[in-house]
Amino acid sequence: MRLAKGLNYDYFERKLKKVREAVLQEINDLEPKVGENPLESGEETTPFPTHIADIADVESRLDRDSYLISQYSKELKDIDAAHRKIVEKTYGICEDCGSNIGNERLKAIPYARYCKSCAESREKKSWRKEEL
């Protein structure tokens, strides 16, 4: 087992807890919106939209909110994984190359799984796959 050097595990554990609470709040704020029919809860007098633009607007908002919930859920999994790494004392170690992720990167993204170099490499590979 390799320990990341110079990390204040208590600081990052508190930071992860705050980020987790904020993400949960975002999910809790969005979930009711996805479950409701905005056309029925708004000022519409009929439960059915009368104009195609109204339908598109509602569907667009619901799609966006569903996408955001999905992204926040993934972020929550990463946060929980980072917390497990703190407990296991493997927090701050890049999952690809095994080097230290670094304090500054972890302060910006406390649930980062990769060092900056590996994250950039993964991003480039992702862009290439999307271009195909």
How does pLDDT run across 5-51, given as a tens digit for each residue?
Answer: 778 999 999 999 999 999 999 999 988 776 665 555 554 544 555 66
> Which 3 state secondary structure label does DSSP give 102?
coil
Please give the single-letter amino acid code of residue 57.
Answer: D
Of 79, 57, 64, 76, the C-alpha closest to 30 is: 64
The rounded distance, in Å, linking the Cα atoms of 62 and 50 is: 18
- DSSP class per residue in 28-68: HHHHHHHHS-HHHHSS-SSSS-SSHHHHHHHHHHHHHHHHH
C-alpha angle 20/22/28, rounded to 5°?
100
pLDDT of residue 108: 96
Residue 115 burial (CB count, 10 A): 21
Is the pLDDT at 57 greater than 90? The verdict is no
pLDDT of residue 131: 64
CA 87 to chain centre: 21
Give the max Cα distance, the chain.
64
Q: Which helix (H) or strand (E) holds 8?
A: none
Average pLDDT over residues 97-122: 95
Average pLDDT over residues 84-97: 95
Domains of the chain in start order, with CATH, are: 9-131 (1.20.120.910)
Q: Assess contact for 78 and 50: CB atoms under 8 A.
A: no
pLDDT of residue 63: 82
Is the pLDDT at 115 greater than 90? The verdict is yes
Is the pLDDT at 119 greater than 70? The verdict is yes
Is the pLDDT at 130 greater than 80? The verdict is no
- 40 or 60, which is more confident: 60
pLDDT of residue 5: 73
pLDDT of residue 7: 86
pLDDT of residue 56: 64
